[in-house]
Chains A and B, each alone.
Chain A
Amino acid sequence: MVEIRNLRKNYGKNPALRGITFTIEDNEILGFLGPNGVGKSTTMNIIAGYLPSTSGTVSVNGYDITEHAREAKKCIGYLPEIPPVYPDMRVEEYLTFCAGIKGIRRADTKKEVESAMEKLHITDMRRRLIRNLSKGYKQRVGFAQALLGNPKVLILDEPTVGLDPAQVSEVRSLIRELGQSHSIIFSSHILSEISAVCERVVIITKGEIRAIDTIENLEKSMTASSLLDITIEGDEATIMRVLKDIRGVEEIKNVTRTDNRLSCRLTLTEDKVRNAVMTSLVANNCSIVEMNMAKLDLEQVFLRVTAQSEKRTSLQDLLDETPDMPDNPYDAAE
């Protein structure tokens, strides 16, 4: 289990992380989402013990990453954004070296290296120089390195970047399999990947956590009553005029026409507007063929969460910003 409490990191005067708190449970795959340059890799570097934090603590299986660095780092397998491979080494040689610096006993090294190579399907490449491997293979060699010694915690920074679709699905199923016996934190830009692999996600923007919940809950909470997929029969100009006139219809998107039917997605300010939509359409001789509450998928949740204004809305939010909070405010929300 990994506990991250109130993590802050400043690069010079620029705050990169502004107090991040979350927990990776045992045998859990936690998705880590955020736009580029908001502190994802910084957070992962700190958890892996590569960078020290400005303040806040990270504890891995009960060991503090700064105070008991050796013990903590032994529980971690880390695949950074750029796979940390030496171009002049052969695959097997490189993995043996990694096993050495990770303090794996010599007697176990061969077995560990073999099993890591097998899991990533790079056994055929064992004698190849890493410099001659394709990007996808380099990525897999880097991943194999993280698995050496079977660490309880895996930190994977965009593990599927540069892989072809077949390899991506292989790596995904590997991560899913590993998730049964490891704590995994896994960042990716590909949201479908996160929703395919992870149970819970953390979304961060500008060094702060925006949302932390199971994907299901996030989708539910954001589904907001406010999205309506509707198909209407009638004159197009009339329909558009009527829809635009209704107070509470914020946006009309995805307009498509088939025959004399028009389908679109409406964004409503609140639930009640639904009735207004129906009555106005019917009053103008437009018949409603189909009407559905739209459900947000992770991508839309992500876009919404990251687009939220920075303005704090409630007292709880203000409290969350205060440093040294005794409790994890996000735990309470779960």
Chain B
Amino acid sequence: MFALYKKELQAFFYSPFAYVLTALFMLIFSLGFVTSIADLDTNVLKFSFSEFFYNNFFYFIFIIPLLTMRSFADERRGGTEVLLLSSPLSVTQIVLAKFFAIVTVFLFMIVMSLFFPIYAAATGQVIWSALICAYSGFFLWGIVCITLGMLLSSVTGNAIIAAIIGEIVMEVLLFLDRFASTRLVDVYPHLNSVITWFSMQRRFIFFSQGMFRLEDLVFFLSAAAVVLTLNVVSIEKRRWSHR
């Protein structure tokens, strides 16, 4: 399993892929950072990194499907899926190895983004505890998006289509959040509570406020586990009904 993980990581880092995506990610961050600083209230001179994360979600969700689109689609197209599935590795191991490789790239991006708080700390003061909490929320949220992107890559079998459908799904997830607070949904409290429960952004808000709730941790991790399981199932299913 480690061999596959290593190969996946190499595919990201030996090609410009990981760097281009990280650059894009950094660009989005730095633009946000500059805007936040330019917009500082001259009396208080204070801005929130968490808010800044929150505002960047919209852009960020376009990066995740690009990261995941090739995971299974390229194996199928290149005929290398045979190699993996006829090796002693189980499908679960294959899915996990790929998942951890993408998570590693994602972590790499997050670590790069630490540049901004570190830079801010050099010239001012940063509340690290709140920041770490926001980062954890951001990380967990990203993990769920990665599992969704991988699932789409294995279902569609075409990297470009996987990326486009990925964008759509991410968009719908963001939309859910706004939809939950509409007047229409407010009329039906049950519907509201269901939608709110699924809305990942709502959960992120707690993290961004410096609240590390076990409930949210469990939600994100179990959502990731469920989608990964679906991923395994979808690959197995395709083997059984091949063509």
List A residues at the B interface (Cβ < 8 Å).
11-12, 45, 48-52, 69-70, 73-74, 76, 78, 80, 82-89, 93, 97-103, 145
Contact = CB atoms under 8 A, between A and B. Distances in A.
Contacts of B116: none
Contact of A100 (B2, B78, B90): B2
Contacts of A45: 82, 86
Contacts of B79: 80, 82-84
Interface stretch (B4-12, B136-144, B204-212, B226-234): B4-12
B86 A98 contact: no
B88 A50 contact: no
Contacts of A52: 239-240
A294 B4 CA distance: 56
A87 B14 CA distance: 13
B86 A86 contact: no
Contacts of B42: none
Interface of B: 2-4, 6-7, 10-11, 14-15, 78-90, 239-243
B11 A88 contact: yes
Contact of B88 (A11, A51, A70, A87): A70
Given A100-B4, A101-B4, 19 more contacts: A12-B243, A49-B85, A50-B85, A50-B239, A52-B239, A69-B88, A76-B86, A78-B82, A84-B79, A85-B78, A88-B15, A98-B87, A99-B3, A100-B6, A101-B83, A101-B89, A102-B87, A102-B88, A145-B83
Nearest to B1: A101
A164 to B, nearest CB: 22
B32 to A, nearest CB: 33
A11 B243 contact: yes
A85 B6 contact: no
7 contacts: A45-B86, A48-B86, A52-B240, A73-B88, A84-B83, A86-B7, A86-B80
A80 B82 contact: yes
Nearest to A97: B7
A86 B78 contact: yes
A188 to B, nearest CB: 19
A254 B26 CA distance: 76
A145 B86 CA distance: 12
A51 B3 contact: no
A87 to B, nearest CB: 7
A49 B86 contact: yes
Contact of B80 (A74, A78, A84): A84
